[in-house]
Amino acid sequence: MTSVTRSSSAPKTSPSRRLTFSLAINEAIHQSMAADERVVLLGQGVKSPWYVGNTTRGLLERFGELRVQDTPVSENAVTGAAVGMAIAGLRPIVVHPRVDFLVYALDPILNQAANWRYMFGGRSSVPMVLWAIVNRGGEQGAQHSQSLHALFAHVPGLKVVMPSTPHDAKGLMVSAIQDNDPVVFIDERWLYSTEDEVPEDFYSIPLGRGVVRRVGRDVTLVSASFLSKETVRAAEVLAEEGIDAEVIDLRTIKPLDSNLVLSSLKKTGRLVVVDGGWRTCGFAAEVAALAAEAGPAILRAPVVRITLPDIPAPVSTSLEEVYYFGYKEIVQRTKGVMS
């Protein structure tokens, strides 16, 4: 049995149609900019499909160059300017076509945006979206294939969002824009062509709330972003072999929906965490720690982490096939938990 639960503020009667992941993001930005003139978009290649696919389609033509700015290649300066815009009252979205190069902008993000509310006792904040795209595969190599979500989730003052479906991508982008503090919105380019039913209405999904993609009783599988799809696929294979897995898509890895994870774990007693990042000090380790801190009575078997190895991404296609994993690996490792 597959049970999908969705949480959003979209009216149940809202008409919907199938939309790709990338165009769902595009619609979220269109509707947010139309609803609030403080919302602006800036970054490299916002008018170039080569950089950002069709996620920014029609925005420049509709809202003009004052609100949609294609910037030079200077991540630190552009992000710093956006932080200033946010402090001054705007709600900027800064797109970084590759999350790898967001590290050039760590000073305005970590030292300024993340700390601002705390330094001023809550009297001032930085309402901005740091939108970063993960590009993997295609022989792009170590400097163009990283997923750095754990790095940003480690920093107090930052929220980190990682949607896996077009429906959630739209609703979570709207919430990120409306949030009064900095939000790191990380999406995977591998998801851009996936389709889903997406309401036409302007809706949001609360940050920090995961969703049960499949109800099960034997083992809890936790993931986010692209690997949530692979995890659901793995659960379907496991079901054919008599293993009833519950699949949780966290959608936001910080704040982490700990209640949802622990509630499932109390039922199943077994935990497999699937993470597209590196193993050491990663997102999977954080979820495993959550289970460990809940006490030994909650676990019937050791926690399993399925992650990338602690090495950079290779270049050749043959090595990429070994480096990255999908549903088959999840199936194999989960069967080991059940034995």
Provide the annotated active-site residues. Answer: 144
Give me the DSSP letters along 259-291: HHHHHHHHHH--EEEEEEEESTT-HHHHHHHHH
Strands (DSSP E) contained in the chain are 16-20, 39-43, 68-70, 91-96, 129-134, 159-161, 183-188, 195-199, 211-214, 219-223, 245-249, 252-254, 271-278, 304-308
- For the beta carbon of residue 54, count every other beta carbon within 10 angstroms: 13
CA distances to 65, 110, 313 from 126, in Å: 23, 12, 33
Residue 292 phi/psi, 5° resolution?
-65, -40
Contacts of 286 by beta carbon, 8 Å cutoff, 6+ apart = 150, 153, 253, 256
Longest Cα separation, the chain? 60
The count of other CB atoms within 10 Å of the CB of residue 289 is 11
d(CA 241, CA 213): 19
Question: Which DSSP string do the residues of 322-334 spell out, in sequence order?
Answer: HHS--HHHHHHHH
Sign of CA dihedral 142, 234, 284, 94: positive
What number of other Cβ atoms are within 10 A of residue 122's Cβ?
9
